[in-house]
Amino acid sequence: MTMYRVLIVDDESIARVGLRTTFDWKGNGFELVGEASNGRKAMSWIEAGAIDILITDIAMPVMDGLELTRETLRLCPWVKVLLLSCHSDFEYVREGIRLGASDYLLKPTLDSHNLKDVLHRMKLQVIKEKENLELYSRAIEEKLRKSRNELENMVCNMFKEETQSSITMHIPWLCEGYSAVVCIPDHITETDIKREGGFLQQTLHAQELFYDLIDQGIAMMRSSGELILLLQSQHGNEDLITRYLERFSQILKGNGYSFTMGVSSTRYDEKQLKLASEEARNAAWLRFYHGPGGIHTLSTYLNKVDNKDVFAKAKHNLKEYICAGIKEKARQCLEDIFNTWIYELKHPSQVMQEAQEIVSLFYLCNEDTVCAVKQIEALRSKQGKEEVIEILRHNYEILWQTNQLVTTLHQRTVNEAISYIDEHFTDVISLHDVADHVNVSKNYLSELFKRETGVNFIDYIIQQRVARAKVLLQTSRLKVYEVAEASGFNDVKYFSKLFKKLVGMSPAQYQSDRKTSS
């Protein structure tokens, strides 16, 4: 049951005792919060807003009942005042009613019955006024909510470029300068975004907290969980925006939320809303390097240049060192890639792409595509450079725990080279062409090919071409020069000389002997 708080003020102690003891306060729904012998002593309760009903004598020293009524209703307009008076105080009673007192009782005739009736009426007034105030507050809040929704929709349409009409007549401060702020919820994974759920509730609550804190601003929720803010930036005063955001961040943390915020530079054109939000989003993703919960601007440049050639070369070197079984050089190559990310401040999306390619390379070397998929999934849940680097270092060590790693890689590289040669040996083909195909250097391929097959690269090609020539000489009616050309030899004299050296007879003799024997 709601208890209504009552304060008694009277300079006569016997009168205060009588009021306190002759009425069942608690049983009738009231709580006596205190007593005072004059208005001055009563002010501590008034200033604290700790009462609903004031019962006060009119004639008192220091501060009388009329002055106390005036001060009470000035500080706490919801309080109901009951004046106590003698027969001779009627003019004072009338002044008290004019000041806003709700009722009065004559001291000589005061008893528990008429006190109960008056207090009951006052309690009903308090209840009614609270209900009206709640309805009024709800109406104001609903009107404000609709107004904000309209502004948010206008701004969203500007982002989508679905409107050509100006919105500055509705948001005039956009022309005076504004900054976009993108707030990204921390510790939210791609899986959470696909699943939606609770994280959108925290963004919704963050939007409400923003509007409670800042009058001149707009907050828009995105399905990704982002909260995009537009803040007035008068005269480019970005320090003021930073102070606002620091306070907002503290409030969010006090509610158990963590957001990283990216802030755009000051803009003065409503048509730059989309550019401003993109700038702010890029700044927010500096979280990848500096950790969650910060406030960032692009004064520190976030590199979005995609240096694919640089990474491709580094990845190529990494693969060569792994294939050659040179663990420390491979490790240094991997660390160089990490340092490039940090030095260049590569965009997180680019870092994640390169990290996935490195993981794929590791497990390609082990012929374990299942683990590769699992580790790539693990990477996608990481939101900081340290977490990504830790996963890659861990998988690098796992790679070298496989005893057959180097042998397997060597065999696979040579097998790929042989397959390519077998398909193209009749064409003009070089060591450089084959090395590019298997993604290793030509010097490394030359050494590896000789070690794994027992013959060097050019001798293997010659063997394949001579073997083709033997088949054509046996099975076709082609002339010798046509066989040479079809087998990959451009010079028939060189072909004839080489054929005789390897087979022991000239191409013509070989062709004639086979036809005679058949």
> What pLDDT is stored for residue 260 in this prediction?
92
208, containing H or E segment: helix 198-213
* pLDDT the model gives residue 471: 87
* Residue 489 DSSP code: -
Q: How far is CA 443 from CA 157, 410, 432, 456, in A?
A: 59, 14, 9, 12
Q: If we measure between CA atoms, which residue out of 453, 436, 456, 455 comes closest to residue 320?
A: 436
**Locus of tokens 């054109």:** 269
Q: Are strands 259-263 and 178-185 parallel, antiparallel or unpaired?
A: antiparallel
Write down the pLDDT at residue 7.
94
What pLDDT is recorded for position 41? 92
Looking at residue 411, its pLDDT comes to 76
Residue 403 pLDDT? 47
For 64-120, what is each residue's pLDDT tens digit?
989 999 999 999 888 999 998 876 667 888 888 888 888 888 888 888 888 888 889
Note the pTM of the prediction, 2 decimals.
0.54
- Mean pLDDT (the chain, rounded): 82
Amino acid sitting at position 150: E
Question: For 219-253, what is the HEC assignment?
Answer: EEECCCCCEEEEEECHHHCHHHHHHHHHHHHHHHH
| Per-residue model confidence (pLDDT) at position 224 | 73
User: Would you say 38 and 61 are in contact if contact means Cβ atoms under 8 Å apart?
Assistant: yes
Q: Say whether 61 sits in a helix, a strand or coil.
A: coil
What is the amino acid identity at position 318?
Answer: L
Predicted local distance difference test score (pLDDT) of residue 8: 93
pLDDT value for 87? 63
Ranges of the chain whose pLDDT falls below 50: 302-304, 403
- Residue 412: which residues within 8 A CB-CB, separation 6 or more? 367
